[in-house]
Copies of this chain bind each other. A is one copy, B any other.
Amino acid sequence: MTPRPRKVTSRRERPAKPALTRDGIIAAAVAILSAEGLEKVTMRRIAQELDTGPASLYVYVANTADLRAAVLDELLGEVSLDAAGDGDWRERLTGVLVSYTAVLMDYPTLARSAVTARPSGQHYLRLIERLLALLDEGGVPPQQAAWGADVLLQVATASAAEHSASDRPPAESAAAWDAAARALREAPEATHPHVRALAGNLLAGSPEERQSWGLRMLINGIVSTPAPAELNDL
């Protein structure tokens, strides 16, 4: 094990090591996320960026999951709540969700962890408030609106996560897509007649067309599906 000389990075004349704070840690994490992807957002990498050891971070952050959730909520601040400000409630609702999806797709690797690590920070709360307000404006009953907002976010998150499959190597994900497409098109007619017949449809549409249909479909479903009556007056 050679002694590996202390790496002097391009940061010249670091201005007196700044005090460690939770916000500073999260800011560093966001910076690394943007520049290098979620897989590099590790305790060790962040500590290195802040010129300290990983153990020091545990004063401000409970564990990696906690850190990731905080980063996610931070990013949710970029979601535009007033996209399509002039349309009717359905258009504005769609606009918010499109913006939400777009933000997650800008940080593709984070979208994945968002599926499970529901944030509970201020930006997430703000987003839910907006969705509920728009559904209320559309006259959707309370319980349908509440469950509906939940599903809308879930689907938007999952879509972003899925499309974020373009992790690093575009070649590899293209190959995987090709393999999936071939599996569908070459499904044995005898056992998989519907897959065979609809292979084209399964693969059809631009991401935008699919998203647009998906959101219309969800809103139609939410509007038209009553929840158990007694839950509406909680």
Q: Which residues of B contact A115 (CB under 8 A)?
A: 112, 115, 158, 161-162
**Chain A interface, >50% SS class:** helix
**Which residue in B143, B157, B158, B220 is a CB contact (below 8 Å) of A224?**
B220
Q: Which residues of B contact A231 (CB under 8 A)?
A: 201, 204-205
- The answer to whether A213 and B129 touch (CB under 8 A), given A116-B161, A155-B155, is no
A208 vs chain B, min Cβ distance (A): 11
A144 vs chain B, min Cβ distance (A): 8
- The answer to whether A116 and B112 touch (CB under 8 A), given A133-B194, A200-B234, A204-B143, is yes
How often does this chain occur in the complex, in copies?
2
- For window 105-157 of A, CB contacts with B under 8 Å fall at 112, 115-116, 118, 120, 125-126, 128-129, 132-133, 136, 142-143, 145-151, 154-155, 157
Q: Which residues of B contact A150 (CB under 8 A)?
A: 202
